[in-house]
Structure 1
Amino acid sequence: MRIVATGMLLAMAALFVAARATAHLHPAVGFVQAFAEAAMVGGLADWFAVTALFRHPLGLPIPHTAIIPRNKDRIGDTLATFLRDNFLTPAVVARRMRHMDVAAAAGRFLASPSGGDGRLREGASRLAADILEALDQERLGGMVKGAIGQRLRAINMGPLIGQAIEAAMRDGRHGPVMDSLIQWADRALEANEHLIRQMVHERAGKVLRWTGLDENLANAILTGLRKMLADMADDPEHSLRLKAEEGMAKLATDLQFDIEMQAKVAKIRDEILDNPAMQRWIEGMWEQARAGLLRAVRDPGKAMAGRFGEALRALGGTLQQEARLRLVINRFVRRAAVGATASYGDAIVRLVSDTVRGWDAGTVTARLEGAVGRDLQYIRINGTLVGGLVGLAIHAVDTLL
C-alpha cells in the first residue's frame, strides 16, 4: 500500500509536468494541471502526517515528528490504564461472569459416561452388605448423612486446597491447568470479540471514530491479546505466565496461613452443605451406595463396577436439575474470579506497562505500523484524490469568475 500511495503521488507529479508543458494547447489542460498540482500538495501533506507518526520525515529532526517512538512509555501507560479501567476491574469481571453458568457446564461434563469403573474388593463388599442388612435403614441413613456433613464441616478446606495447589506447582503438575486456562481465555476472547470492538468504539474519541482508527485500535488490541496468549501457550517461561504462577503461589500461601481467607472458604463450604439440593444429593449418594453394596453380595464384581462413576454422573445430573445449587456454585466461581481480579489485576496491568516500556523504539514502531500502517496508507491515497478534486473545484470557480 505504501508503493501504491507513493506511485499515485509520482503519477500526479508526472501529470503536472505534462499538463504544464501542454497548457497552451487547450484551456481544458489547465483543469488537469490544477488537479495534479493540488493532488501533489494533498498527497505530500498526508505523507508527512503519516510518516511523522512513526519516524522523522526524510530523517530530519522536525519538531512533533516520530510521535510514537518518542511517546512509547506514555502509550504503554495509556494502554495499561485502558485495560485496567475497561477489562480488569471487579465490576466488569462480575458483569461478564454473571452470564456464565459454570455449574451447569460442570454438570454436563460429569453426567457424560466415563471410562473408569472403580471396584471394591469382593470380600469387603460382602461384609459391608451384611452389615447394612443387619442395621435399620432409616436410622443408619440419618447417621451416615449427619456424619458426612459433620466431617465435611470439621475439615478446614483452605489449608488442604492450598497444600494441593502448592504440591501441584512443586511437581510441575499445574502446567496442563495453565494451558487449559490459556486455551479457555483464547476461546473467550474469540467469542467476545464483538464486545471488545463495541467497547473501543464507544470509548474512542470523535476524531478516532471519524477517521475510522477506532477499528484499527480494536484490531491492534485483539491482535496483541491473541499474540500474548499464543506466546504464553508456547513459552512456559513467559513473563505473564510466571506472574500468574506467582499469583497461584500467593493464593496457596493465603489459603494455608491467612485466617480471613480460610474463613471465606469455610463460609462457602457451609453454604454448599446447607443447600437442600446438596442434602438430597448426599442422600441419593447414600441410597445408591447402600443398594450397590446389597447387590454386591450376589455379584460383587459386576454390581460394584463403576460406582464412583455413577456417583459422579448423579452429581452431574443434580447440578443440571437443581437451580439453587447451581446458583451457589456459580456465585462462588464469580466471587473467586472477582477476587482474583481485585488482587492480581494491578499486577497484570503493571506487566503490560513494563513490557511496553522495555521495548525499544524500533520494536514499538514496527508492531504498531504493522497493525495499522496499511490503513494509514489509504489516508495518503485519499489525501491525493481529495486534494486533486479540491484543486479542480478551485480552478473551476476561478475560471468561471
Structure 2
Amino acid sequence: MKLFRLDPPAAAITSAAAHGTRRMRILATGMLVAMAALFVLARSLAHHHPAIGYVQAFAEAAMVGGLADWFAVTALFRHPLGLPIPHTAIIPRNKDRIGDTLAAFLRDNFLTSAVVARRMRRVDVASAAGRFLSQPSDGDGRLRQGASRLAANLLEALDQERLGGMVKGAIVQRLRGLNLGPLLGQALDAAMHDGRHAPVLDSMIGWAGRTLEANDHLIRDMVHARAGKLLRWTGLDENVANAIITGLQKLLADMAEEADHPLRIKAEEALRNLAADLQFDPEMQARVALIRDEIVDNPAMQAWINGLWEQGRASLLRAARDPSGAMAGRFGEALRQLGGTLQDDPQIRAVLNRLARRSVVGATAAYGDSIVKLVSETVRGWDAVTVTSRLENAVGRDLQYIRVNGTLVGGLVGLALHAVDMLL
C-alpha cells in the first residue's frame, strides 16, 4: 500500500552517490595513470634539458602519493589487488565492531536525556502546531492526504462487526454504569433552586386544563352513570357534572395564576422530596436503575446505539476521505480557532511545549537503548558486501578526492625536494 512518495526517492539518492563515486574514482585513477605516463616520458627526455628533471620529479612523487592514497582508500573496503595484506579490508572485517561503535556514539552523543532536553528547548512545537491548524492549506498536502488515506484504509480494514460490537458494548456498559438517581436528583434540585421548574409546572397545569376541556364528556358520562334515577329524571346529574367541571377548571386557573396556591406549593414540595429521594434514598435509586436497565435493553434503544455507531463510523470515513471538506466545516473552524489560540496564548504554548519536551525526553530515556540496539543489530545483520557498498557509496566520493589531492600534493612535494636538491 503506497501512502507517501519520497522526493527524491532513497534509491535515486543511492544511485546518484554511486555514480558520483565512480566518476571521482575514474578521475583519480586517470590522474595516476597520467602521472605514470608523464614520468616515463620525462625520464626518456631527461637528457634534452635540465628543466625536464623537475617534471620527472613531480611525476614520480605524484605517482608515489597517488599510489599510497589508493592503497589507503582501497584498504578500507577491500584487499588491494585481492592480496590478503594485513590490516586491509578494514570495514568488512570489523563491521560488527563498527556497528557497536556507531550505536554507542548515538547513545552517548544524541540519545541522552540532557541532549534531547536541550534540543527540545529550542523547538516550539505548540507554535508549529498552531500554524498548521490555523492555516492548513499552507501545510504539506501530501502528508495530510497520505495520513487521511491511512486512516480511511485502517477503518475499512478493521472487522466492522467485531469493532462495532466492541463500541456498542462499551456504550452500553457506560450507560449501565451511570448512577442516574443522584444525577437526576441534583439536576432537579438545582432547577428548583433557580426557579427553572416553574415553566414546567405551568406547562403541566396548562396541559391538564386542555385535557379537561377536551374530555369533559367523560366526566358527564361518569356522573350520569352513577347518579340515581331521581337525579337523572330531574336533570340534576347534568348540573352536578357542570359544577364538577367548572370547579376543576377554576382550580387549574387559580394554580396557574397564583404562585403561592396551596396545591402548587404541595406540588413543589413533592418535587423537593423526589429530588431528595433520588439523591439519598437507596430504594429510589434502585428503582431508577431498574428503569435505566429496561430502557437500555429496549430494542429501540439498541437500534439507536447501533445507528449511533454507524453514523460515527460513516462520519469518520467521510472526514478521512475528504480532509479538505472536513476542515471546511465546523470541525475545521474549531481546529483553526485552536490553532489561533496556540499562537496567541503564551501560557498554553509553554504548557504544551513543556509536555512535548517531557514526552520526548521520557521516550528517549525509555526507548533509547532499544534504538541503539536496533542500530547495532541491523549493522550486524548486514553482510560484509552490503556494509562495504553502503559506506563506500556514502563517503567514497570524498575518499577519491583524497586520492586526487594525494597525487597533486605528492607531486608538489617531489618538485620542492628536487628544487632543494638542485640548489644545494
Q: What TM-score results when the alignment is normalised by the length of structure 2?
A: 0.47
Larger radius of gyration: 2
